[in-house]
Structure 1
């Protein structure tokens, strides 16, 4: 095993092997060089020389830049990110950089930034943030610095080779059939809880429910189209507003999908449409209802019937679990959920297969 921050390994033949970045192939893949020796100190010394040699050669072509990481980050966001991504993605990138990166290391000059600076930042993040959040933040920073490398403002990306925390997947929480029945009984008491029923019977994400319009529903063929999502993003404007509601296309190509609806759901949708005065299925007068309002309504109900440990997203998991229990195959369920791949579905719902696994093993019982 290599020591932290080093690419030096002990081989089975007794020698030490040092690895360094020699260059990059045309497809961007890293091309490594290797150094071998019977002493650790010898290999480490050779690696230091190789790194110095590389820096000396590259620095001849390095463009002068006196700006801080903060300056470069803002330029990168405005010039290369904002024109090419959704407003929600831009807001997410900007927030990650401002809150978690620039507040800590933004004052360091771009060309003085080292992996040690970033590693120190990660140690502080590790005390308060989840591994998945840290990885997401580093991904944005890595993209930011990769652009600086391509423009010859940096010799190499200091994010390469970082030791990132491992993500521990949580067990998916889905409602039991008993708890689901309790929830359905409660949400049937008022039309304002219909969004919860939609989530249970379609597996839609909360933003997709908010963005659902009557034009998306085909009552003749009993299908529901997912064509947009509503979310609240962070902004900066002169009026003092910090956030705003935006309507964007679904998060991926797979997320834009058609879902069959049951006869009972079709009936409830027709009843709601008869009294609706909005283009949106779930609305506040003429406007789309925002996600946090729907989440708040679910919070009221779950506290009332003792389901405090379940979030609104648990309804999506519940839909998937009921599909599994009804004998649905992974490819079909993955398509209904709008997952990017069946692997993602399997990773999310492995624990839901336990009853099926038990039945399979029992069939293999030897007499």
Structure 2
């Protein structure tokens, strides 16, 4: 029996080999394998690389689901940035839970949202590989999250609120910012508003759409709870009446007079925040802020949290705040509603001990 000839080659960091009775046969088989690899037509099995499986999995189970480009991009960002460099070259069947746990542990100290999304991608990839019988066990089953930072959304301080209200009197984005503060709506929901949605007869703003994050497209809210009516705050009403436009005109527009998109929303917030910074005493040189004094973590979502804080201080029931904020799950509202500011705590104790607060809460006589 004659000797077989073996030929090998590397492609994308992976070794391919083929054997044949002649050099031509071995070379031909190797060329076919390399061509198949380049076309991504590797045999779907536990022997395929994690990288090959990710491409197949995403194309089969994610791309056809109608997810937004931002959602699909999240999978690529987490995979290419954090998973591929560590295990992309490994065979699917060789991946153990310790490999995946190390990937998560390396992200300790980063935001909770980031590590949760990273774990989600790992779970979805490997649980599908297990369901598809490509691997005997799912290594992502019991992954534990490392210590992570909670989200930075917070309420405005009293000083920040005072400056915001002052800047909003004259800034072009003032009405947009005040609407976020006084309604608690999401920035994307405000951007989707037409004047027909502002019901002055019933003193309500009707929310039924939102600007899709990362795009300029207006679409329905993520959940049914997003469709709601928000009564117009008395401090907001005169500003809305003064700016009133045609029923199908957008309520909020950018510099070009068109509906806000993700870019123009960002510009409106950044110019407004810059004006607040200067108002608070930032050092400016040649029209450029050279020493900022405003907090880095002040974002548009802080206005939504401030609305929830204001509701808590006013004693608005949690369930009512849930509907105003458009949360499908009341636990989401409760997480925002857990405020520890002194005024709320003292008011709560006053209710408990019957004192009514400072000075016993009773009118002084004599």
1:69 to 26, 50, 53: 50
CA contact (8 A) 1:69 1:110 kept: yes
1:95 to 56, 77, 81: 77
Q: Does 1:106 align with 2:88?
A: yes
After superposing the two structures, state which structure 1 stretch, 170-179 or 195-204, moved more.
170-179
Post-superposition offset of 1:202 = 0.5
1:271 match: 242
Deviations 1:253-301 (A, max 9, x none): 3233221113443332233233x79732212222324232233133213
2:334 to 329, 342, 346: 346
Deviations 1:154-206 (A, max 9, x none): 22221112222255646863234554233212111133322111111101122
Q: For 1:148 and 1:154, how far apart are their aligned partners in 2? A: 6
1:292 match: 266
1:173 to 134, 154, 159: 154
Aligned pair in 2 of structure 1 residues 251, 93: CA closer, same or farther (>3 Å)? Answer: farther
2:107 match: 125
- Structure 1's unaligned 5+ residue stretches are 1-62, 234-243
Post-superposition offset of 1:336 = 0.8
Q: For 2:213 and 2:326, how far apart are their aligned partners in 1? A: 21
After superposing the two structures, state which structure 1 stretch, 172-181 or 307-316, moved more.
172-181
Alignment of 1:1-367 (within 5 A): 64-87=45-68, 88-126=70-108, 129-166=110-147, 169=150, 173-177=154-158, 179-233=160-214, 245-274=216-245, 279-284=249-254, 285-290=257-262, 291-306=265-280, 308-309=294-295, 310-352=298-340, 353-363=344-354
Deviations 1:8-31 (A, max 9, x none): xxxxxxxxxxxxxxxxxxxxxxxx
CA contact (8 A) 1:279 1:286 kept: no
The SS at the match of 1:302 is helix
Post-superposition offset of 1:345 = 1.9
- Structure 2's unaligned 5+ residue stretches are 1-43, 281-292, 357-366
CA contact (8 A) 1:183 1:305 kept: no
The SS at the match of 2:315 is coil
> Could you say what the CA RMSD is over the residues aligned between the two structures, in angstroms?
2.8
CA contact (8 A) 2:210 2:218 kept: yes
Q: For 1:209 and 1:104, how far apart are their aligned partners in 2? A: 42
Q: For 2:72 and 2:140, how far apart are their aligned partners in 1? A: 21
Post-superposition offset of 1:232 = 4.8
Q: TM-score, normalised by structure 2?
A: 0.70
CA contact (8 A) 2:194 2:251 kept: yes
CA contact (8 A) 2:192 2:209 kept: yes
Aligned pair in 2 of structure 1 residues 278, 216: CA closer, same or farther (>3 Å)? Answer: closer
Aligned pair in 2 of structure 1 residues 258, 101: CA closer, same or farther (>3 Å)? Answer: farther
Q: TM-score, normalised by structure 1?
A: 0.70
Q: For 2:57 and 2:347, how far apart are their aligned partners in 1? A: 50
